[in-house]
Amino acid sequence: MAAAGTILAPWPALAKLPVATERTLSLYNTHTGEHLHQVVYWKKGSYQRETLHQINYLLRDHRTDEVKIIDPNLLDILHAMRTKIPVDAPFEIISGYRSPATNRNLQSHSSGVAKHSLHMTGQAIDIRLPGCPLAKLRKTAVSMKRGGVGYYPKSNFVHVDTGRVRYW
């Protein structure tokens, strides 16, 4: 009954609800075997520079070792997805940053690689989450309406990006 009272409460009452003081992520790079476990990348209103550097490195182009700054909004999308899915496992990273050379190479072998992929600007990631059906991962990303979501069940991953809202 208390929850119903909160929903019906006027705006000033909602302002008093507790706000998360930290945002964390657990990530596993499937190509390099590297992982970060429950790293705090945002704390008390600020992104944590050192942790962002660690994430950028983990999400680098594993083919060329090039590191790119990853859009913090992408991390926020992952964090928000994680809070909606009750699975205690790290996101498995299939692809984070992709250099233009890597993107061209992949594009020459697959029609599913965009010429102007947001992976090249650090605004896209391909993921799966052990213990979470791929369709549920996709549904969760779509429900947030915060960017692009691609569904690749044959390749066993979901693409998430910070571009305009669109689905494929």
Q: What is the mean pLDDT of residues 149-163?
A: 97
pLDDT at 18: 53
The C-alpha atoms of residue 142 and residue 146 are separated, in whole angstroms, by: 8
pLDDT number for residue 111: 65
Distance CA 59, CA 54 (A): 9
| For the chain, domain boundaries | 21-167
pLDDT band at 12 (very low <50, low <70, confident <90, very high): very low
Phi and psi (nearest 5°) for 96?
Answer: -110, -115
Confidence band (pLDDT; 50, 70, 90) for 147?
very high
CATH 3.30.1380.10 fits 21-167, yes or no: yes
pTM of the model: 0.85
Average pLDDT of the residues of the chain: 89
Residue range 107-134: average pLDDT? 89
**How confident is the model over 68-97, as pLDDT tens digits?**
999 999 999 999 999 999 999 999 999 999
Give the HSE-up count for residue 4: Cα atoms under 13 Å, Cβ half-sphere. Answer: 1
How many whole angstroms separate alpha carbon 55 and alpha carbon 35? Answer: 9
- What mean pLDDT is predicted for residues 139-167? 97
